[in-house]
A and B are shown apart, each in its own frame.
Chain A
Amino acid sequence: DVKVTQSSRYLVKRTGEKVFLECVQDMDHENMFWYRQDPGLGLRLIYFSYDVKMKEKGDIPEGYSVSREKKERFSLILESASTNQTSMYLCASGPRGHRQPQHFGDGTRLSIL
């Protein structure tokens, strides 16, 4: 079974802090993704990576950056957290190829106070 592990289930941070969300997958997948999910807005892609050190902006990259130094690990960074970044963050991974599904981690519920 595919295992995508997110470092925290719940996280509370303060406005202006730099926040790191970590994601690790154990299936040697080339592609990794970060989404946020908000009521009424659905799942929105923040960033994705198709190889080590490669990244591409998704639909809502403002205020976020990412890092992929190793194939199995993909980090999302909130440079200076703001209250409008309070959300559920979901990491996913998938093999290369257009017929491949994505597999999700359990999610991190992040609250910015």
Chain B
Amino acid sequence: QKEVEQNSGPLSVPEGAIASLNCTYSDRGSQSFFWYRQYSGKSPELIMSIYSNGDKEDGRFTAQLNKASQYVSLLIRDSQPSDSATYLCAPGYGANSKLTFGKGITLSVRP
């Protein structure tokens, strides 16, 4: 059974701070990793993907991957109240882009 663990939440940070969201996964065969954001009552939307060890930056978001430690994280710099949502970590496996989703961590950014 493939498992994805996201650090316990909810996470609350003040506006302008850095939010750090962590995820560990069990399947060493995973080659692709995705972060989705889900606002309350809405469906998940893709915000970041990462495939190689190291950092990948996109605007205020940075994804970090360490395959040896089976660890992937998402940093949100200069957090805004509009970042308040649940963030889902999803490693991919197999040839058909199947994903295993973590249960998510809820981020609250305080004005």
Q: Are the C-beta atoms of B42 and A48 separated by less than 8 Å?
A: no
Q: Which of B90-111 contact A (CB under 8 A)?
A: 92-99, 101-104
Secondary structure of the B side of the interface?
A: loop
| B96 CB, min distance to chain A CBs, angstroms | 5
B47-58 to A contact mask, C-beta < 8 Å, 1/0: 001010000000
| A92 CB, min distance to chain B CBs, angstroms | 8
Interface residues on A, range: 20 to 34
Does B34 sit at the interface, judged by CB under 8 A?
yes
With contacts A101-B46, A101-B49 taken as known, whether A40 is within 8 angstroms of B103 at the C-beta atoms is yes
Residues of A within 8 Å of B42, CB to CB, are 106-107
With contacts A45-B98, A98-B94, A107-B43 known, what are 18 further pairs, Cβ within 8 A? Answer: A40-B103, A41-B103, A43-B44, A43-B101, A50-B96, A90-B43, A90-B44, A95-B97, A96-B95, A96-B96, A97-B97, A99-B32, A99-B97, A100-B92, A101-B49, A102-B97, A102-B99, A104-B43
A residues apposed to B, CB below 8 Å:
30-31, 33, 40-43, 45, 48, 50, 90, 94-107
